[in-house]
Amino acid sequence: MPEIRLENVSKRYTQDKRTQYAVRDVSLTVEQGEFVFLIGSSGAGKSTLLKLMGGEISPDAGAVYLNGSNIGRLMGPWRVRVARTFGIVDQQCLLIRKRTIRDNLLLTAGATGMRRRGKQAAKKALGIVGLPDVEDRYPAELSIGECRRVELARALVSSPPILLIDELTANLDDDNIWDLMHLLNELNSRGTTIVMATHASQYVNIMRRRVVTLVDGKLVGDVRNGKYGDIV
């Protein structure tokens, strides 16, 4: 079963001739079936860490391993296998406004090598998030909460064993947040690994899962059954 392991991972960016670390010397293991909340203030490095975990970007130092294999060294068909392993929900809405919901999900299915079974997979994913009847609608016709559910459905198209989720609940009301948290909890209970960056402290405290805290790109807390702000 998939396990993610980061060993002394760092990522830095240069802007206006100044180099700044987004993630610095982070070592972390996420085992199959875990539910991990990734917390920290804006700019703490949460989004960068998620992108490193999913192989979207490469570290400047250290390495990221998936089941013992260095993600950065996987080539060819192995890269497609990695893409199928991770379902990714970005912080920003990436739905194409001029495409139907079905087409948006089919694009993801094609990118993960599931073109032949794309329509069936899209229908199944929309059913999982409770939106079975929106296939022919456009993103602009949906509420913010429904759009975020569609983003989650898109991540589920390839039935990935791992979900990497960045601020899925941002700008949502309490009812929508709770519905999404309940849905994620259900997916996790079925074996899906979830790593979720969030500011939703109330729900982190209620759910009491593993809580990993970043400050200025450094891992300063890793607490099982934790609460928001735990760093012991």
CB 130 within 8 A of CB 88: no
The pLDDT of residue 99 is above 80 = yes
CB 6 within 8 A of CB 29: yes
What integer pLDDT is reported at residue 78 of this predicted model?
Answer: 60
Percentage of the residues of the chain whose pLDDT score is greater than 70: 94
Predicted confidence band of residue 114 (pLDDT cuts 50, 70, 90): low
The pLDDT of residue 232 is above 80 = no
Q: What is the mean pLDDT of residues 124-128?
A: 95
The pLDDT of residue 136 is above 60 = yes
Distant-in-sequence contacts of 142-149, Cβ < 8 A, 24+ apart: 142/101, 144/171, 144/172, 144/176, 145/172, 145/173, 145/176, 145/179, 145/180, 147/93, 147/95, 148/93, 148/172, 148/176, 148/180, 149/180
At 22-81, the pLDDT tens digits run: 999 999 999 999 999 999 999 999 999 999 999 999 999 999 999 998 988 875 556 667
| Residue ranges of domains in the chain, CATH in brackets | 4-223 (3.40.50.300)
Q: What is the mean pLDDT of residues 69-96?
A: 81
State the pTM of this model. Answer: 0.92
* DSSP label at residue 44: S
